[in-house]
Every structure is written in structure tokens, then in C-alpha cells.
Structure 1
Amino acid sequence: MTDRERELAANLAKVEERIAAACVTAGRKRAEVTLIVVTKTYPASDVRILAELGVRHVAENRDQDAAPKAAACADLSLDWHFVGQLQTNKVRSVAGYARTVQSVDRARLVTALSKEAVRAEREVGCLIQVALDAGATGRGERGGVGPGGIEELAGLLAEAPGLRLDGLMTVAPLTGEYAGRQRAAFGRLMDLSTDLRRAHPAANMVSAGMSADLEEAVAAGATHVRVGTAVLGVRAGLG
């Protein structure tokens, strides 16, 4: 086993322990929470190691990095999630490899994704990215639509050919009433998920929590947590 393999195995084991402990504290079953490893800025070789360690869900936020990485790992049984702000000119590429796009936040993107999913003869799962810091513009600093825009987008996604409405995603906001209050932010997302499921019962996926706050997300009821740094290490040039 190489040093990198040992490092990733140890880090992954620690994250698994954290998720398991958080589930016990929340009175939830470990199987209720899916780990998505965010592999952005790391090479395909790391993705291969993670796959050997049992990881099945990986995420990227930039198509120019994700597309070649997904192609290099096409022989692996992986579910690729796109979690970054998605420009419409990248939709054709993303629709070719992503099983789930977690950052749907505007009608134009729904239209573009639907067109390319149909063209590729694929079904793409979609999460509405909710911005809990959305101000008068109705959009958040890190992308996403305000809570008031969920119903309209959900209706569009539910009717869009090639797309499947899977649920909601959020990133803990840095500004606004929920800044520094991750538990409250994720609780608010769960309330919005309950509202969404009244009209769309199958849209039960709730993606929230990252390396620093996955316990708060599990406590709130998140079904998926997105963890990068805690598994792969601190990214060079970031911070």
C-alpha cells in the first residue's frame, strides 16, 4: 500500500466514524446517510483509490476538471455529482457524466439540462440549490435560489423530460441570519424539504453538510453529506 493509499484510508475511516457517531447521537441508522466525497482539485488516481476503499459517490464543482476525470474513471462503478454553479454553456458536457446535478437554481438551467439529458438519452437527477442568504435579488452569494423560488423550480423540474426532481441542497451561508448557525440553517432546509415533499413525495434527498459541519447536517436530517478536505486533505492554494 502506498503512502497516499494509507492516508486516504485513514482519513476515510475517521470520517466514517464521525458520521456513524452523529447518526447514533441523532437516533438515526447509518444507512440513512450517504457520503459524497468531493474530489475537486485532486487527480483521477485519488478517485481510483477511493473507489478501491468502497466510495461510490464523488463530486466535482468545475466541468473542466470533472469531465476528463470522469472519463479517466469511466470503468469504475461511480455516481458523479456536480455541485458547483453551472453555466449553461457547460451543460452538454455535465449531462454526459453527472448522475446528479445538485446546483439547479434557475429556470434557464432546467431548460438547458433537459435538452442535453434528452440528447444524451440519460436521466439526470436534480437538486434545487437553496440559498438561505438570498436577499432582494432572490439569489445567494454562493449560488442558489431563495426559499420563495423553490416551488416554481420544482414544478419545472418535475415536468422536464430527461430530468428527475430528487430534492434540495444547501451550503451553510456566510452572511445573513444563518451565518455561523449551521444547525439552524440545516433545520430550515429540512422544513423546506418537508414542504417540497407534500407536492413531490419522491423528492426526498437532502444534501447538506461538509467537512466542518457534517454532524450538524446529520442531526438535522440530511440524507447526503459532501466531504472533501476531511478525506483528501487541505487543498493546495486554498484557505
Structure 2
Amino acid sequence: MTERREELAANLADVEERIAAACAAAGRGREEVTLIVVTKTFPASDVRILSELGVRHVAENRDQDAAPKAAACADLPLEWHFVGQLQTNKVRSVAGYADVVQSVDRSRLVTALSKEAVRNGRELGCLVQVALDAGEGGRGERGGVAPDGVAELARLVDGAEGLRLDGLMTVAPLTGEYAGRQQAAFERLMDLSADLRAVHPAANMVSAGMSADLEQAVAAGATHVRVGSAVLGVRPGLG
């Protein structure tokens, strides 16, 4: 456990250094960017170590892994983010532990999340997931609503009981005009965020960037970066 703690502490320090350097290069304060550590596939013991090391935001993408982990770590001062594609049959479980659902991409999901948030007496933060690889009115390969659908979905979230519209999220596309152009993709997301904030001023969260492209996300203006492997190492089963 001591060895793992040292490994995580060193990795976390490296990532912090990268974020600080990216903020400095962009003329931003380090406090403008929040690190979310993506703990998917890693055990609750790692989450506990991360919490001891000062991490306050963790993310998961599969309810079957996240629910027991969140329960095992319920005593920790953590904010849990759900970042994966969310099926409506998992909403009841996710609404019980997630503080923020970053992958809201369709009206049915808004309805289901609202119902469960009210049932649990909780307020759920929601980000509209934007698919920059989606055609007009379509959805992306990894979930998300096309840019032209953001305003309507945001309106639904804002009007839904038990939900709080926090902002936007994207994953850099692997296909389409933004493939290999992460910074351009994130700048497009910032344009969409500006449009959103004109109508919903409080929805100022922009979640973008992961281990490989967090610098581009910070340069574009992201408020939150989602980092997994750079902190936790190669995922179990992937080498």
C-alpha cells in the first residue's frame, strides 16, 4: 500500500505540474481548472489514497463498478462525477451517488434523472455532453448531442425538478473534422459554452481534456479536466 501511495503521489504531482504549466501558458490562474481523477477499473483502495492526497473530484463511467465503489468510499469528502454513456435503466442507481452527471445527451435521460433526483431528495448537477463528430440533429459515436441540439437539451435540464444545469462536456472526436485537432474541438466547445452562458449564466462548467490532451483543453478555456491513466497508470487488463 505504501508503494502504491508513493506511485499515486508522484503521478498526481506530475499531473498537477502539467496543469499549472498549461494554466501559466494560457495566462490563467491554477485555481481556474479543477482536476477530476477518472478512477474507472481501479479499486476503492486507490480512491481512498487519492482522497488522502487531496483529490476531491473522482469520475466513473460504469454504474456496476461505480456504485459499490462509491458506497465503500461514502465517508470520504468526494464529489462523484458520472462520465459514461448512461442507460435509463441505470439512472436510479447513479442518481443515488453521483453529484454530477456529465453525459446528459437526450431528453429521456433528463426525465429519468429528474424523477430519481426528486425521489432521493437530491439536486443533481448535469452537463450536456456535446458530440462534435455528430451531424445535424444526430448523436456521436461515444454519446453526446450534436451542437445544434445543445440549447434545447439545456432548456429541458434547466426546467427539470431536481436537476441543476452546470454546463457542457465533450470528448475529443476520433472522426470528422475535429479528428486529431483537439484544441480546435475544445475551442468550438468554448464557443458553445459562451452561447449557453448567454441564456443560463450559472452554467459555466466546461469539462474537456484527458491525460493526452489536457494542455489543449486548458489553453481553450476548460474549467475541468478528466485525467485517468496519467494519475493511476495503465488500466488493469490493458497491458
TM bin (shorter chain): over 0.9
Structure 2 residue aligned with 1:74 = 74
* Counterpart secondary structure, 2:178: coil
Alpha-carbon distance between aligned partners in 1 of 2:136 and 2:188, rounded to the nearest angstrom: 19
Which position in structure 1 is the counterpart of 2:128?
A: 128
Shift of 1:238: 3.0
Distance of 1:191 and 1:14 partners within structure 2: 30
Note if 1:56 corresponds to 2:39: no
What displacement does 1:89 show? 0.4
Contact 2:187/2:220, CA 8 A, preserved across alignment: yes
Give the whole-Å Cα distance in 2 for the aligned partners of 1:84 and 1:110. Answer: 15
Per the TM alignment, residue 136 of structure 1 is displaced from its structure 2 partner at its CA by 5.3
Distance 1:3 1:238 in 2: 21
Using the TM superposition, give the Cα deviation of residue 44 of structure 1 relative to its aligned residue in structure 2, in angstroms.
Answer: 0.1
3-state SS of paired residue (1:218): helix
Q: Is the 8 A contact 2:98 2:124 kept in 1?
A: yes
Residues 192-229 of structure 1: per-residue CA shift (max 9 Å, x gap): 00000010000000000000000000000000000000
**SS in structure 1 of the partner of residue 149 of structure 2:** helix
Residue aligning to 1:205: 205
Task: Give the Cα–Cα distance (whole angstroms) in 2 for the partners of residues 235 and 158 of structure 1.
Answer: 36
Q: Does the aligned pair in 1 maintain the 2:136–2:148 contact within 8 Å?
A: no
Residues 156-195 of structure 1: CA deviation (Å, up to 9, x unaligned): 0111000000000000000000000000000000000000
- Other-structure match for 1:170: 170
- State the Cα deviation string for residues 100-124 of structure 1 (Å, max 9, x = none): 0000000000000000000000000
Letter paired with 1:142: R
Q: Which runs of 5+ in 1 are unaligned?
A: none
TM-score (norm 1): 0.99
C-alpha distance in 2 between matches for 1:213 and 1:136: 26
Map 1:224-235 onto structure 2 (within 5 A). Answer: 224-235=224-235
Q: CA deviation at 1:135?
A: 2.3
1:192 aligns with 2:198: no
Q: CA deviation at 1:137?
A: 5.8
Find the residue that maps to 1:193 and give its secondary structure: helix
Equivalent residue for 2:36?
A: 36
Aligned match of 2:113: 113
Judge conservation of contact 2:137–2:148 (CA < 8 Å) in 1: no
Contact 2:102 2:169 in 1 (8 A): yes
Per the normalisation by structure 2, the TM-score is 0.99
Encode CA deviations 1:54-95: one digit per residue, 9 max, x unaligned.
000000000000000000000000000000000000000100
Q: Which residue of 2 aligns with 1:144?
A: 144
Residue 160 of structure 1 is matched in structure 2 by 160
2 CA distance for matches of 1:118 and 1:137? 29
1:23 aligns with 2:23: yes
Please tell me whether residue 3 in structure 1 is matched to residue 21 in structure 2.
no
Q: Does 1:236 align with 2:236?
A: yes
Count how many residue pairs are aligned between Structure 1 and Structure 2. Answer: 239
Name the amino acid aligned to 1:89: N
Using the TM superposition, give the Cα deviation of residue 236 of structure 1 relative to its aligned residue in structure 2, in angstroms.
2.4
What residue is the counterpart of 1:47 in the other structure? 47
Amino acid at match of 2:61: N
Letter in 2 for 1:90: K
The aligned amino acid for 2:151 is E
2:209 counterpart SS class: coil
Question: What secondary structure, in the 3-state scheme, does the structure 2 residue paired with 1:71 have?
Answer: helix
Q: Which residue of 1 aligns with 2:97?
A: 97
